[in-house]
Amino acid sequence: MIRLSAIALLLASLLPAQTLEQAEAFWKARRFQEANDVFRALVAQHPDNPDYKVRWGRLYLDHSQPDIAVDLFNEALELKKDHAGALLGLALVAAEDFESVAAGLAHKALASDPKLAEAQELLASLALEDNDTAKAVEEANRRWPWTPIRSRAEPFSPPSTGSRTKRTPPSTPTRPAATRPPATFS
């Protein structure tokens, strides 16, 4: 019995540990099944970690399976009621379905994490979808306060060049349109 335990311990130490970085790398490489397997192992090893559930939910959302993603986001919220990533995930699902709760969920995510840029971007996007350009600009300026976005109504004033000399971009040679190969899509 002791030998079996020792062998099992030795084998466990030789196997690579499942990590979030590994799951993210598989996801980035579009190896969804491997990413899913790693996330499943991570959640099994750390059932009380809401971050793993949120990232796993985002994988499902990215892979067009919002129902499973919503379940994972809700599980994360059961562990931490104001988890910004889970709230954002629910807001993204709601936005895909054109549900009116999307903006409210994005605002809750921002209340939980004021620096959550993706939630601010979602609010700007939702405002654009509602044809509310002024609100979209306002939301975008909250996201990027250091580079305010001007609306089309505001006049453009180029920055002063001072003593700088104007650089011209290098020209790129292009083939004439007649010799370009036709576009192909796979």
Spatial distance between the Cα atoms of 109 and 68, rounded to a whole number of angstroms:
20
Q: What pLDDT shows up at residue 90?
A: 97
Spatial distance between the Cα atoms of 92 and 108, rounded to a whole number of angstroms:
13
The values of phi and psi at residue 146, to 5°, are -80, -15
Mean pLDDT of 92-105: 95
Q: What pLDDT shows up at residue 148?
A: 52
Residue 117 has pLDDT above 80, yes or no: yes
Residue 77 has pLDDT above 70, yes or no: yes
Mean pLDDT of 114-134: 92
Q: What pLDDT shows up at residue 142?
A: 79
Which residues, 6 or more positions from 129, have their beta carbon under 8 angstroms from its beta carbon? 98
Residue 12 has pLDDT above 90, yes or no: no
Mean pLDDT of 157-168: 47
Q: Which domains are assigned to the chain? A: 15-113 (1.25.40.10)
